[in-house]
Amino acid sequence: MKGRYALLMLTALGVVLAGCGKSERVGSFPAFVYTSATSLESYRLAVRSPVFLEKMPCYCGCVQSANPPHRNLKECFIKPDGRFEEHGATCDLCGKIALDAEAWRKEGLSLKEVRAQLDAKYQEYGRPTDTPPVE
Amino acid sequence: MKTTLLSISRPSKGGRLRFYPLRAFSYRRFWPSIFQIATVLGLVLVLYFAFFGTIRPARNFATVVTWTLWWPLLPWSFLFLGRAWCAICPLGAIGSKAQELGARLGLAAGRQPGAWLKRYGVWLMVFTFAALAWVDRTFSIIGSPRATGVLLLILMAGTVLMSLLYRQRAWCRYLCPLGALSGIYATTAAVELRADKAICQTCRTKACYASCPLYEFPQTMDSNRNCNLCGNCLKSCQRGAIALALRPPGQELWLFRHPLVAESALAVLMVALVYLQTIDMTLPWGDYMKAVVENTPLVGYNAAFTATFGAIIALGLGSYLVAAWVSGRLSGVGLATIFARFGYAYIPLALSGHLGHNFSHLLLEGPRAIQVALNQLGIPISLVPEALTDAPPDFSTVTVLTIMVLAIGIGASAYVLWRIVRREGRAAITAWPHFALLGFFSLAYLVMFLLPMNPRHGH
């Protein structure tokens, strides 16, 4: 019986730990955003810090495949007219880049350093968006 | 008297099987060792690319071979060859070598699995499999070559540790998450390895038992659950009492004598897990998660997913418990007995759902995965034009195939239910709660597989 209780406790612990993320409710999003943790968190980030993502490039190929071509990482989540862009929810790379950038910024890196880190990590994916360098 | 499709279950002179392909793979010395060498080499390559290859999961040998090719193909192997994968599993092979080396160096304890492990081993496998499914979805292991490598190393460490602590393959029998899956799916296999009990009763050496890596005793074995078809017993038996036979797939589901509560629970759990892992790929999933995140205290996606994960498993197991209870009341049989017996009937449904789920991976992503894997090994081959990678996938063929496989699974599950009732001489009314539950599960699967899928672009 002890073994079964131990398994139950472990399961309960998992549920509690999973709920202990640093997520916060930031507005309401279209349903397509709620397809993965990365998607939801990156859209929340885009709403919270649009200027920050505007200075970061995306490497997923949206500079060629999106219509019109994306100019920066923010446009993977929010269109220039302010509406939500679906691309960031269906692409598994944009969210990763955004959350990496945010993690480095929280570590205390400057915008320039964050940009350099992104370039170093993701340049193998191909051509980035034509995002002006960070001054 | 059970029937076999091909009369190769009775050994001919010298214990040799007459059906050449099976004989070749059961008696030959190269089985399973030559395949183990191949899979170990494959694992080395996977680990190399996992840690030193590109971080792009759709372009990394490790992730495409592991998650787009091997993982979706694996359930098919259970259907045709039972747990044969476990015989050639590189982790098991590495564990066995570690055990040999440990014995030489005096590091291997060589214990027999204790009573606790024997009693709760299946429950541990149930738990580790469910936990692995949760970890995968929560931390997106399949989307990360590095995480894939770490997972494989953790599993390898577990195998080696258990091999040093216990004799034979205690990890594979009692702890491996995949062992849980392969064990219950192997019950549906079209092959079985069984002994002629009349001959076994005259045997004094019982060499087959000593040689079995999964602690099975062929004389009493009536299920594929713990047989990896390694052929050790065939090779060690001097009397030719053991043979490999073809049979109607899944025959043992209503024939074997020792059903376990934990395995029945695992079968129903698999129904729930396959549902979970497919429903979150559909378009309406976003609407559901939006409702949960915006209207409950579960603000984070992972918290909402974890609650849903627990709820669907609880709903699956809870509804099965209710069906077993009603069935028990109708037949006057104890709950534990009914619970243990009827759960196996849901295995064909779970397997068909699993196979259907994997059609999308295999057919839509498989050609590209093969191309990527070969290109990474320096073999230039072009199966898929680059431009197709960004085109929306065509789900219609996949959906038709999925529904066909699912229909077979539903029919097979219903048939197994009916055979269990007949076999045990119970009143037909005993099975009705399970037929009702099977209908509910089947409907849920059918609706789910007909839902539009969420298009995702891999990189």
3-state secondary structure B81-114: HCCHHHHHCHHHHHHHHHHHHHHHHCCCCCECCC
Q: How far apart are CA B224 and CA B428, in angstroms?
A: 27
Which member of A21, A60, A90 has the closest CB to residue B300? A21
At B294-324, the pLDDT tens digits run 998 888 899 999 999 999 999 999 999 999 9
User: Per the omega criterion (within 30 degrees of 0), is the bond before B218 cis?
Assistant: no
Give the 3-state secondary structure percentages of chain B, helix then strand then coil, rounded to 5: 70, 5, 25
Nearest to B266 by CA among B177, B170, B172: B177
Mean pLDDT of B117-122: 88
Which member of B286, B298, B459 has the closest CB to residue A35? B286
Cβ atoms B181, B129 nearer than 8 A? yes
Percent of chain B at pLDDT > 90 equals: 59
Give me the residues paired with residue A91 across strands. Answer: B457
ipTM over 0.95: no
Look at residue B388 in the predicted model and tell me its pLDDT.
Answer: 46
Give the 3-state secondary structure percentages of chain A, helix then strand then coil, rounded to 5: 55, 0, 40
B55/A124 touch (CB, cutoff 8 Å), yes or no: yes
Cβ atoms B153, A49 nearer than 8 A? no
Mean pLDDT of B19-32: 68
CB neighbour list of residue B439: distance below 8 Å, 6 or more residues apart:
none
Look at residue A45 in the predicted model and tell me its pLDDT.
Answer: 96
Testing the interface with A: which of B117, B120, B140, B289 to mutate, by most A Cβ within 10 A? B289
Q: How far apart are CA B269 and CA B130, in angstroms?
A: 8
H/E element holding B36? helix B33-52
Nearest to B207 by CA among B163, B166, B242: B242
- Please indicate if any CB of chain B lies within 8 Å of the CB of A28: yes
Mean pLDDT of B393-403: 80
Mean pLDDT of B2-27: 48
Cβ atoms B227, B248 nearer than 8 A? no
Look at residue A26 in the predicted model and tell me its pLDDT.
Answer: 58
> Model confidence at B38, in pLDDT bands (50, 70, 90)?
very high
- How many distinct helices (H) and strands (E) make up chain A? 7, 0
> Model confidence at B386, in pLDDT bands (50, 70, 90)?
low
SS3 of residue B208 by DSSP: helix
Tell me: pLDDT of B113 over 80: yes
Which member of B54, B280, B303 has the closest CB to residue A21? B303
Name chain B contacts of A21, Cβ cutoff 8 Å. 300, 302-303
End-to-end CA, chain B: 55
A123-127, B200-204, B270-274, B393-397, range with the lowest pLDDT: B393-397
Cβ atoms A128, A63 nearer than 8 A? yes
SS3 of residue A27 by DSSP: coil
Tell me: pLDDT of B45 over 70: yes
Chain A contacts in chain B segment 52-111 (CB below 8 A): 54-57
Q: How far apart are CA A122 and CA A92, in angstroms?
A: 13
Look at residue A66 in the predicted model and tell me its pLDDT.
Answer: 84
Cβ atoms B223, B386 nearer than 8 A? no
Q: How far apart are CA B112 and CA B166, in angstroms?
A: 6
Tell me the average pLDDT of chain B: 88
Look at residue B390 in the predicted model and tell me its pLDDT.
Answer: 46
Mean pLDDT of B6-31: 54
CB neighbour list of residue B357: distance below 8 Å, 6 or more residues apart:
B274, B277, B278, B402
Mean pLDDT of B106-123: 87
**Higher model confidence: residue B25 or residue B17?**
B25
Q: How far apart are CA A22 and CA B299, in angstroms?
A: 9
A5-19, A121-135, B419-433, range with the lowest pLDDT: A5-19
User: Per the omega criterion (within 30 degrees of 0), is the bond before B32 cis?
Assistant: yes
pTM metric for this prediction: 0.87
Look at residue B382 in the predicted model and tell me its pLDDT.
Answer: 78
Q: Provide φ and ψ at B343, rounded to 5°.
A: -60, -30
At A5-59, the pLDDT tens digits run 555 555 555 554 444 444 555 568 999 999 999 999 999 999 999 999 999 999 9
Q: How far is CA B296 from the centre of its chain?
A: 35
- Please indicate if any CB of chain B lies within 8 Å of the CB of A116: no
